[in-house]
Amino acid sequence: MTEKRPFDVLNNALNKNVLVKLKGDLEIRGTLASFDVHMNLVVKDGEELKNGELKRKLGTVLLRGDTVVFVSPAE
């Protein structure tokens, strides 16, 4: 799984667990289900974290790309 372009990270992370940091100190953890060129992301079994603690379970969640700070796949 080579990653020559940044979005290859998203492609390789499909159906895997990811941590997404959003602007405003919010984080979502869950399974990456889809993404597009704007970095809009769908996460399944999403959990909202605040300061590293589980705040609530969201299930499926569509994250707007321009609020994303980073996406980190679990390893």
Q: Which residues bind its own copies (CB under 8 A)?
A: 3-10, 19, 22-26, 28, 33-36, 39-42, 46, 58-75
Q: Which of 32, 30, 28 is nearest to 45 (CA)?
A: 30
To its own copies, the closest distance from the beta carbon of 33 in angstroms equals 6
Q: Which is nearer to its own copies, 5 or 53 (CB)?
A: 5
Using the minimum distance from each CB to its own copies, give the nearer residue, 24 or 53: 24
What 3-state class would DSSP assign to 4? coil
The answer to whether 35 and 29 have CB atoms below 8 angstroms apart is no
